[in-house]
Amino acid sequence: MIPWSGRRFITILLALFLLNWLIVAIFAPAEKRIKVPYNPNFVEQVEKGNVKEISSKGDTVQGEFKKSVEYKGDKAEKFETEIPTFANDNQLSQLLTDQDVVINAESPSSRSLLETILFSFGPTILLVALFVFLMRRAAGGGRGGGGVLGQFGRSQAKRVESESQTVTFEDVAGIDEAEEQLVEVVDFLRNPDKYLRLGARIPRGVLLAGPPGTGKTLLARAVAGEAHVPFFSASASEFIEAIVGVGASRVRDLFKQAEEAAPAIIFIDELDAIGRARGGSGGVMGGHDEREQTLNQILTEMDGFDPAAGVIVLGATNRPDVLDPALLRPGRFDRRVFVQPPDSAGREQILRVHTRSVPLADDVDLAQIAQTTPGMVGADLANLVNEGALLAAKRGHDQVQRADFTDALEKIVLGAARKILLSHDDRRRIAYHEGGHAIVGMLTPGADPVRKVSIIPRGQALGVTLSTPDDDRFNYSEDELRAKIRVSCGGRVAEEIVYDEPTTGAESDIQQVTGIARGMVERWGMSEKVGFLAMAPREGQGFLLPGAEPVSEATKELIDAELRRIVDDELDHVRHLLTDNRERLDALAEALLERETLDELDAYAAAGIPREREPASA
């Protein structure tokens, strides 16, 4: 069966219009008729007796000559002319009568019944016939045929054969715990008899959950590559269409294809697009009919196929908390693998994978780069390597050097430098703003070390102060959170101390301070008055959505009061700190105005603050 496409549909449509034109041209051809002047041509031909018959409607006269007449290069027996309003109708009538010209009463523009049908209804009839043809093909498509409408119900999943799978566990690094949990799945697909002989049942579904960019899709492809089985990959959003029932049909077709190719792997990315809890977070008025029908079909298919067939479903999501409980029960996605951001050692392994084909200079230390990139996941590190290689090529280097990686990291974290002209007053104000952040970060216990201070505009910011921890952090104390608030407040407070007025430059700082303080009160129980209670709705839910916990007005007022108390306390602390260290603030601001960018060593030296830790070099 030839696959259907939009180009094929347009070709058939054009062919039908061409056929209609040919039918009209054959059965109702257009008559060749010349248009001649009333006088002298028409009157002269009447006087010569060369006019056989005429018919008229209003002032328009059409007729036929006895012999062909040529006018302006055109020669024909049939003609048309216009009678002037001032012409003598009685004299013309008498002349026509004397020459025995046949005068017909029919309209010159009248058509035969065949012409009327062909011109008026021909295209419509052909279009109706086309759609009848398509409907019949669609009906056949539901039983295994093609058809333009039948294609809507076919799975859009991309199939990759085992011979084309080049990704293996050697290409996956930094997520060893997740990899170890999938080795069993690979072994089952390779040696199913070993498990079936002992009555063991491999999980039908494995859910890969973790933040974006951690390598969930890469891990799924590696499983298929290690097992040497076909790999069916689809995004959950590809199942959803405006027509209810199409998604369920595509799910049925996908599982049917996988069972025919078994052993095989079905990979559904962004599973939360169709797997959200039904009647819950789908909306205020409930769920989406097409999404819920698609979800129901997935549940049915996972219950229906035989585990011994060797079909395993891998699902990936960034938000496992919003999935329907029916998806996670035993017998469906009953194994959950959490793919977490890598630690320093994991980031080093990932960098080694991505730099296999990248020539590195001798001064590049991947372990040190890994230490300076806390929080980055596999996708971020791949982007870092690519940006470093692009910079090296732009600078004409034969190898990627340490400076290339350092500048690429700054571009990713801080943003690309912007060339904008700032006045001296603006540069000085920005220097004090960034200096305020830096001084507070240097003098506050528990704050992340200051790595770089710059007054060069980058991205949306006019200046940047970069602070990163020495080691990966997975848990923060209340004192450390308050230290983050103080550092964020340092820029605004420095402006108030030096200029006695605020500016709009602290917008992002205010947002960060508000977010941390709200988390302390609503999520982490760090307020004595609010207590050990969760006041914020779960992620993905608002207070108006079903299932969200209600909060009284009195509690909301208490939360607002606690937010203000925490922020005001830290603002007061920062004001005293910067007032007492005004000389250090002035010195750092002057150094920034002179050099624009200060690294960790230079920033601490300019501020006259001893460093208690060795800097991590990139």
d(CA 309, CA 330): 18
Tell me if 266 sits within 8 A of 255, measured CB to CB.
Answer: yes
360 phi/psi in degrees, rounded to 5: -110, 140
SS3 383: helix
d(CA 11, CA 63): 41
Q: How far is CA 5 from CA 10, 106, 148, in A?
A: 9, 49, 7
Tell me if 465 sits within 8 A of 592, measured CB to CB.
Answer: no
What DSSP character marks residue 464?
E
Radius of gyration of the chain measured on its C-alpha atoms: 40
Residues with a catalytic annotation lie at 434
- Beta-carbon neighbour count of residue 120 at 10 Å? 11
Token pair belonging to 263: 């052993």
Q: Strands 450-454 and 597-599, how do they pair? A: antiparallel
Burial of 484 (C-beta count, 10 Å sphere; 0-12/13-18/19+) = buried
- What angle separates helix 246-260 from helix 289-304, to the nearest 10 degrees? 20
d(CA 28, CA 195): 77
Token pair belonging to 538: 């779960």
Tell me if 537 sits within 8 A of 556, measured CB to CB.
Answer: no
